[in-house]
Amino acid sequence: MADPVNTISSFTYRNAYMSNRLQEILKTAVVAEKICRVDTTEALTLQNPYGSTPTASVTGLTGTYSVSNYTTTNDACTVAEQVAYGEHIFDFEKLLTNFDLFASRTDAIMYAMAKASDIWVLNVMCEAGTGTYSTPSGGFTTASNIVTILANLGSKFLGYAEAYNGLFLVIEAADTVGFTIAQLTNGFSYADAAWRNGFMTSAAGFEIYVVPDGTFTTVASADTTSGTQTWSNSGHRVAGVKNMVTYARPRGLIQGEKEVSGMTGKEIYGVGYIAAKVWTNIASLVIDITITS
């Protein structure tokens, strides 16, 4: 009796692995997914027209009123950027036949794409937010500033119904020095929790997200980190109300493998289309924080 033939190739499993890992990484390893309203439909343009703000008048009893003109302003989020990576793995490198090595390499590629998307979205948010705040001298790395900074930031959202969506603050890794010292020394139960668990991810009503140093940058002319955008965010951080910014990622990020004529092995690649929009009528709820040295 002939040996049975296995008709399921490891290539099929690799494809499933790449796709599943990519979506998992997007949800767990990036900040933008947690603080923005994410749209993964096939729409390349999201419309958000808004009307003029009505202002009511209080007068004496006259029996009359003034009539204002109603105007509509168009506002849209259009997908015009892509994040992509590709590389060729030759057959003699034996990577394609070793699942552990392939999985490790795939994770590295997926993280690189997720990181590039995250950096782009966070910088677009920081640049487009119309709310502003300058920290006391020393910024977040000075522990005595932390309570003052959080109190001042919190005051900018009081009175807005949208604040009940939750508040966020995005800082870089070096900023956690001041935060950690402040958390260890402010408030008994809170400090006790910080001593046991280390850096706390929430304080004064803010969810605190930490990104690598160098995430917030200044790009004077478009490059491979900014796509078609430019921004001036070096020495800046961002805070705001959650889900006020739309992060569009049509169809998610796409991956694949393909053979290349004249070359052994396979080419692996990933590509995604992205956009982020701080809507004009609520842009004040995204705060561009300037760190005062």
Q: At what angle do helices 99-128 and 10-28 cross, to 10 degrees?
A: 30
pLDDT at 3: 52
pLDDT, residue 8, reads 45
**Is 68 within a domain?**
no
Within a domain: residue 85? yes
The verdict on residue 19 lying in a domain is yes
Assigned domain for 58 exists: no
Q: Does residue 96 lie within any of the structural domains?
A: yes
As a whole number of Å, the end-to-end CA separation of the chain is 79
pTM for the complete prediction?
A: 0.83
E strand intervals along the chain: 37-39, 45-47, 50-51, 72-73, 76-78, 81-89, 131-134, 167-172, 202-203, 206-211, 218-219, 231-232, 236-241, 245-248, 253-258, 266-278, 286-290
- The answer to whether 280 and 122 have CB atoms below 8 angstroms apart is no
Long-range contacts of 102-107 (CB under 8 A, 24+ apart): 102/14, 103/17, 103/21, 106/14, 106/17, 106/18, 106/21, 106/268, 107/21, 107/25
CA distance 196 to 266: 48
Tell me if 189 is assigned to some domain: yes
Angle at 230 between CA 229 and CA 231, to 5 degrees: 125
Query: What pLDDT shows up at residue 7?
Result: 46
pLDDT at position 13 is 56
Question: Which of 52, 157, 124 has the alpha carbon at shortest distance from 276?
Answer: 124
Q: What is the mean pLDDT of each run of 10 residues along the chain (293 residues)?
A: 49 58 64 89 80 79 84 84 86 67 75 89 96 97 96 91 87 94 85 85 93 95 93 97 89 77 83 91 94 94
Distance CA 285, CA 239 (A): 8
Decide if 55 is inside a domain.
Answer: no
In a 3-state reduction of DSSP, which class is residue 272?
Answer: strand
Locus of tokens 């009123």:
65
Backbone angles phi, psi at 56, to 5 degrees: -80, 150
Q: Into how many domains does the chain fold?
A: 1
Q: 38: domain range?
A: 10-50+76-290
* Cα–Cα distance, 59 to 138 (Å, whole number): 49
Give residue 2's identity as a one-letter amino acid code: A
Evaluate whether residue 71 is within a structural domain.
no
State the chain's maximal CA–CA distance in angstroms.
103
96 CB contacts (<8 Å, ≥6 apart)?
Answer: 14, 89, 102, 265, 266
